[in-house]
Amino acid sequence: MGFTIGGIREMRSGARRRHRGTAGTAVAEYTGLWGWAVTPGARAEAGACSCGAPACPAPGAHPL
């Protein structure tokens, strides 16, 4: 996967995965290799939010 900066195509270092890793593997990749900040988030479970708020305005779409 590449990205363009100022018309020059740069390639990211790192091997492509051939299998699905664990959630921990994905977190480690995003924080280490790509430099992305990661925060735990709520999940949508059976039409409700895992945060526990009965009238959550954004079920499964916000950080914890």
Length of the chain: 64
| pLDDT at 6 > cutoff 70 | no
Higher pLDDT, 33 or 15: 33
Higher pLDDT, 19 or 40: 40
Rounded distance between C-alpha atoms, residue 13 and residue 1, angstroms: 9
Kindly state the average pLDDT of the residues 37-51: 88
Helix (H, G, I), strand (E, B) or coil at 51: coil
What ranges do the domains of the chain cover? 2-49
Which range is most confident: 9-18, 23-32, 36-45? 36-45
| pLDDT at 58 > cutoff 90 | yes
| pTM assigned to the model | 0.45
